[in-house]
Chain A
Amino acid sequence: GAVVSQHPSWVICKSGTSVKIECRSLDFQATTMFWYRQFPKQSLMLMATSNEGSKATYEQGVEKDKFLINHASLTLSTLTVTSAHPEDSSFYICSARGPNTQYFGPGTRLTVL
Chain B
Amino acid sequence: SQQGEEDPQALSIQEGENATMNCSYKTSINNLQWYRQNSGRGLVHLILIRSNEREKHSGRLRVTLDTSKKSSSLLITASRAADTASYFCATEHNDYKLSFGAGTTVTVRA
Contact = CB atoms under 8 A, between A and B. Distances in A.
Interface of A: 32, 34, 36, 42-46, 49, 59-60, 91, 93, 95, 97, 100-107, 109
A43 B42 contact: no
A95, A104, A106 — which one has the most chain B CB atoms within 10 A of its CB? Answer: A104
Nearest to B105: A41
B23 to A, nearest CB: 11
Contacts of B98: 34, 46, 95, 102
Contacts of A43: 2, 88, 100-103
A34 B88 contact: no
A40 to B, nearest CB: 9
A54 to B, nearest CB: 15
A105 B42 contact: yes
Q: Helix, strand, loop or mixed for chain A's interface?
A: strand
B99 A101 contact: no
Nearest to B31: A101
Interface residues of B, number: 23
B40 interface: yes
A42 B98 CA distance: 16
Contacts of A59: 1
Given A43-B102, A107-B42, A49 B97 contact: yes
Interface in B91-110: 92, 95-103
A2 to B, nearest CB: 10
Given A44-B88, A46-B1, A107 B41 contact: yes
B43 interface: yes
A43 to B, nearest CB: 5
B2 A45 contact: yes
The winner among B2, B90, B97, B102 for most chain A CB atoms within 10 A is: B97
A45 B98 CA distance: 9
A49 B96 CA distance: 10
Given A32-B96, A46-B1, A106 B42 contact: yes
